Structure formats: C-alpha cells, structure tokens
Structure 1
Amino acid sequence: MTHESSTPREASQLAAHLAPTLSLLRTVAAEGHLTRAAERLGQPQPTVSRALAGLADQLGTPVVAKQGRGVVLTRVGALLCEAAENALRELETGCRGVLDELDPNRGQVLLGFQHTMGRALIPRLISEFREHNPGVRFGLAQGSRDDMLARSRAGRVDLCLVSPVPSDPEWESAQVTQEELVAVVHSGHRLAGRGEIRLTELAEDDFVGMRPGYGLRRIVTDLAESAGFTPRFAWEGEEVDTARGLVAAGLGTTLLPRALSGAAPGTAEIPLSPPAHRTIGVVWPAGRQLPPAVRAFRDHASGIALG
C-alpha cells in the first residue's frame, strides 16, 4: 500500500479548519494542564476540552494525552504546535505592524513630491511634523508631477505634493503653500537690470524648461499662453539646478521659484508684473481611507497654509 502526499488544496482546507484552535493548542502545550491553560485563555475548562476534542475529530487522532494530572501533546499535536508557533509568530509580527500603522504616533507616511520641492519645503514639513510625532517614519519618492500622481493612484505613495493641483473629481487636495515665480535670465540679458518685467517681454526668448509631465512645464506654458504667446522650449530637463546652469551659460530664459540663497552666479532673478505664483497642494485619491499617521501629516502640511 502506498501513501500519496496531500494536495495543496487539502492542506489549505485543513489549515482553515485548524487555524482557530492553534493558539489554544500552543497554550495547552505551554501550560501542560487544561485548567491553567483555560485560565490563561480566559475560557472555561469545558470549552477548552471541547475544542481539543473537536480538533481530534477533525484530524482523526488525539492531539493531547493525559500524563498524571496534566496533559502532553501527542506526536501529531506536537507537529501542529510547532507549525502554530511559526505561523502565530509571523501573524503577531504582522499585527504589530498593523497596530503601528494605525497609531498616529508610530505609523509610516509614503510621501511623493516633485523635484523642485525637495530642497526646502519637504525637509521643513517633515522636520516640523516630527517635532510632535517622532515615531512616525517616512518613505520618500520624487519625480515629475504626472509620475507622482500615477504613484498615488496606484497606492505606491499615500500623499503627494504637486503643483499645479489637479482639479478633477478623481482627487482630493488641500493647499500647502504658494511660491512666487520669477524670471531667471542670464546676467548679460537685455532685461537683467530691471526691477520687474512683463512676461510678454520674454516672448522672443528661447526658454529652458522642464520636460513634459513636470508641473513647472505646465505652469510656464499656461502663464505664457495667458500672456498671448507660446513659449519656445529650446532646452528641456528634470532638475531646477540644471535649468539655472543652462541659463547661466546663456542658453535661454526660464521661470522658477526664487532661489533660497539668491540668484545663481551668471543669472539674474526678476519679479514679474503682474506677479506670478504656483500653488502647491497635498493630494490624495478621492474616497481613499488614509491611515491615522498619514491623516496627521496631511493636516499638518495643509495647516501651513493657514498658519
């Protein structure tokens, strides 16, 4: 007579039946006594005895045997108990992770943002938030506006900071801040010494711009078209520092948020008339339930605009 191995389906069905009693079996093994095990579990002893009897019925063999005034596991019971130890240890680890995630003081925030926000805004927001929430961890992703929205839609980030803020009903958002945009021109540009300029005065210039899909590319295009011209992008890149370098080399003009440390060498920054700004918002998919730590950071980020 040959013995055939059980199929994965049979094993999964047995596991589903046994799962509710595995913690009980582990406790009985640890205590070696039904009364003490029942007390530890907070259950009447008859309930524990019936559960063990039901487990034996399911298996077709006992899982415990009497030994003096106590009980010991049978070979089958010991095999199950070892499996239960491993499974419950993994489950308890997972539960700790879930509890951490649900604790606003211990969770994790997966935050996406555009390249142009990584130098000052993101460090500031996280630093201020962690003053009151030191146990919250962050996972950071940066890229283009379209890339960050795609990651948020797919659930790969919890929140993203983008500009311009999407207006369609697929998204919910809250304003974080506004940044002034200035014309960045070569220091030898014909308008470099001006106190302010109209955007139309740059209509004939070559523009240094972000690639399509980047927020600043859309903002600059919209501002220029509102002023009556279509910007001619002679150079495209992904980083603000690269754009400033191309301007410093005399290869074009661009619109950027003011540099924190002043105009880069070889460039001049000139306010626009009328002034131009970009609005930065924190964005998440409409209707998505956010974990407590994520909600706390969202409220903190959007509170900056109100403070």
Structure 2
Amino acid sequence: MDDETARTGAELAPDAWAALLAPRLAQFAAVARHEHVTRAAQQLGMPQPTLSRSLARLEADLGVALFARQGRAVRLTRAGVAFRDAVERALAEVERAAESVRLEADPGSGRIAFGFLHTLGWETVPGLLREFRADHPRVRFQLVQTYGEAMLERLRAGALDLCLTSPLPDEPGLVVRRLDEQRLRLVVPAGHRLAGRRRARLAEVASDPFVTLEPGYGLRRITDTLCAEAGFAPRIAFEGEEAETLRGLVAAGLGVSLLPPPAVPRRGVTELDVVGQRAVREIGLAWLDGQPDAAPVAAFKRFLLSRAGRLLLGAQGGAS
C-alpha cells in the first residue's frame, strides 16, 4: 500500500480530497451504473484488473466499503449509493463546464470578455462591434465598461480577454499596443472670460476651480500631469465618474475641465484647443502576457490592431 492509500480522512487537508479522488470518480460511476466490473472496464477501455485495483484504492482512501461483491458483479452499499449520487452530480457539472469553455473557444460562436472606458461606449465601441460582427455574426461579447484601474484589475485577474484603456499602462505581465490618440480640450462655461477664444494655455485657468474625474481614472491622472507641467496644481471643486456629467457641471458654471470631445455637442460650454502642451491621451489595447487566445479572441484582437491609428476616426467619443 503506497503512502497515498495509507492516508486517513483525518490526515487529509480539506482541499486534498478532490486531487486524490478525481481520477477515480468516473471509474466508480461506470461500475455503479453497470454493477459489473468487467463491463465497466470495457466501457472505459481499461483492463479489468486495473479497474478493480483502482476501486480498492478508492475504498481504502475513503475508509468505507462502496460495493458488495458477488464475483464480477457488484452492488452498491448504502454508503456507495450516497457517494454515487454526489459523484454523478459532480461529473455532470464538469461536463457542463467543459462544454461551456469549449463553446467559448469556438471560432464561430465563442465568447469574448471585452473591457473599455466609459465614453468609448457612446459611439466608438458600438461601431467596432458592428463592424466585427459583420464577419463574425455568432460571436458573443461580455462587455465591461468601467474606469481604467478597475478594468486593469479585472484584466490581471483573468476576467477580461482584452481591454481598451488610457493612459497606456507600463507594467510586467501586460502587453499593450497603442491604437490611437485623442486631443483633449479645455472646457469652460459659455460665460467664462475665455469663452470667446478658440485656444488657450492651461496656465490661464490656474486660478479657476476644476471639475474632474475621481482618482483612479486615467483622465484624472492626465489632467493632474498636464496641470503640473503648466506650473500649478488644479483646485478641485467637484469629482465625478463620467465625462458628460463633468461637462454638465461646467455648463452650470461650477468650474472648468479638461475633457475629450463630446459625442454630441453640449450647449452652455465652450471647448478650447490647449496650446503650449501636448494635451492628448493615447488609447491602447491591453491583454495578459503569455495568455493563449481562444480563436474568437484572437480574431477580435487582430481586428482591433488593424485599426491602429484610426480607432477614433469618425467618432467624437473617447475614453474616460
């Protein structure tokens, strides 16, 4: 008897049973269904003596008799009946899980978990999905729309296959490809002292209150960096979670903001080009380094990378 067989239930850690028993569960289920070792061995494509030894080890590991033997025929004991019911449920769940992941990897009808920043969802992402689905009509998408750091956390955890993000992360374990960039604008209320102009320097609003996204959002980091380059720290009056809400706060005269162009022009604000600085944000595609792609994910990745340099072409929305 080997060391594993000699272990008792009390000596096994709670999570060790699955690793110890899993290879034998399908064998047990087959014998339980046939109530005959030889017929079960034929179904499993294994020698009958090997199957008999496997069942004996299973009973020894559990410390309970699962079968009452009558030559080659067997019948389940009371403990065997209870164990069979649990094993059948477990094997059925494994079968469902295996079928699910197989379908997700199917080139024609698999599933892609795709994340993107908030305002990309207004116009850019729907257009991309429409174009991709024209050639892949049965591919399904799980869409996750959130801010940059939360999305990268999901990517690191394996909950996303791909994501569109900004600014571009630079960290081990992630692969990032730049796709496009978007010019940011200084947004001021319609009655602001700069509202009659077409362009301005950020330093000209150093004394104004700012409305910005909350810390953790990519655009907030870019705003803080650009203001620091202009020689000041922005005086934050309001923090929000969505770019169009910020634009509404500006329209209400509550401050100024640095935002991407709107999907739909908004009344009550003036949008100025920022001069003297490179006020842009890069949009990139990120995925986990070394993670093999299922066929639909690989197809969508190729599709997005082919749009490098023109992701936002024809769309006024951007990432948040």
TM-score grouping bracket, smaller chain normalisation: 0.7 to 0.9
Q: 2:189 aligns with which of 166, 186, 191?
A: 186
Label 1:228 to 1:41 Cα distance change in 2 as closer, same or farther (>3 A): same
| Equivalent residues of 1:52, 1:63 under 8 A apart | no
Write out per-residue CA displacement over residues 234-254 of structure 1, whole angstroms, 9 at most, x where no aligned residue: 332222122111111122222
| Equivalent residues of 2:32, 2:76 under 8 A apart | no
Label 1:18 to 1:234 Cα distance change in 2 as closer, same or farther (>3 A): closer
Does structure 1 residue 146 correspond to structure 2 residue 113? no
Does structure 1 residue 119 correspond to structure 2 residue 122? yes
Match of 2:166 in 1: 163
Label 1:48 to 1:294 Cα distance change in 2 as closer, same or farther (>3 A): same
| Equivalent residues of 2:244, 2:262 under 8 A apart | no
The normalised TM-score by structure 2 is: 0.73
Match of 1:52 in 2: 52
Alignment of 1:1-307 (within 5 A): 7=9, 9=11, 19-30=22-33, 37-43=40-46, 47-52=47-52, 54-56=54-56, 59=59, 63=67, 71=73, 73-75=75-77, 78=81, 80-131=83-134, 132=136, 134-143=138-147, 145-169=148-172, 171-262=174-265, 264-273=266-275, 276-285=279-288, 287-292=289-294, 293-305=296-308
User: How far apart are 1:28 and its partner, in Å?
Assistant: 4.5
User: How far apart are 1:281 and its partner, in Å?
Assistant: 1.3
| Equivalent residues of 2:198, 2:271 under 8 A apart | no
| Equivalent residues of 1:65, 1:73 under 8 A apart | yes
Label 1:98 to 1:8 Cα distance change in 2 as closer, same or farther (>3 A): farther
Write out per-residue CA displacement over residues 69-101 of structure 1, whole angstroms, 9 at most, x where no aligned residue: x94534366555434322211221222233344
SS at structure 1 position matched to 2:308:
helix
Residue 85 of structure 2 aligns with an amino acid whose one-letter code is E
Distance (whole Å) between structure 2 residues aligned to residue 122 and residue 240 of structure 1? 16
Label 1:33 to 1:229 Cα distance change in 2 as closer, same or farther (>3 A): closer
The normalised TM-score by structure 1 is: 0.75
Label 1:53 to 1:281 Cα distance change in 2 as closer, same or farther (>3 A): closer
| Equivalent residues of 2:121, 2:145 under 8 A apart | no
Distance (whole Å) between structure 2 residues aligned to residue 8 and residue 192 of structure 1? 77
User: How far apart are 1:258 and its partner, in Å?
Assistant: 0.9
Distance (whole Å) between structure 2 residues aligned to residue 207 and residue 81 of structure 1? 66
User: How far apart are 1:266 and its partner, in Å?
Assistant: 0.9
SS at structure 1 position matched to 2:307:
helix
Count of aligned pairs between the two proteins: 294
Structure number with larger C-alpha Rg: 1
Distance (whole Å) between structure 2 residues aligned to residue 230 and residue 78 of structure 1? 71
User: How far apart are 1:26 and its partner, in Å?
Assistant: 3.3
Distance (whole Å) between structure 1 residues aligned to residue 97 and residue 191 of structure 2? 61
User: How far apart are 1:35 and its partner, in Å?
Assistant: 6.5
Label 1:183 to 1:79 Cα distance change in 2 as closer, same or farther (>3 A): closer
Distance (whole Å) between structure 2 residues aligned to residue 15 and residue 249 of structure 1? 61
| Equivalent residues of 1:209, 1:254 under 8 A apart | yes
SS at structure 1 position matched to 2:91:
helix
Pairwise CA RMSD of aligned residues? Answer: 3.7
Label 1:59 to 1:114 Cα distance change in 2 as closer, same or farther (>3 A): closer
- Give the gaps of 5 or more residues in structure 2: 1-7, 311-320
SS at structure 1 position matched to 2:170:
coil
SS at structure 2 position matched to 1:55:
helix
Distance (whole Å) between structure 2 residues aligned to residue 158 and residue 194 of structure 1? 44
SS at structure 2 position matched to 1:94:
helix
Label 1:281 to 1:35 Cα distance change in 2 as closer, same or farther (>3 A): same
| Equivalent residues of 2:115, 2:163 under 8 A apart | yes
How high is the sequence identity, in percent, across the aligned residues? 40
Write out per-residue CA displacement over residues 84-134 of structure 1, whole angstroms, 9 at most, x where no aligned residue: 322211221222233344445555444443333332333334444444163
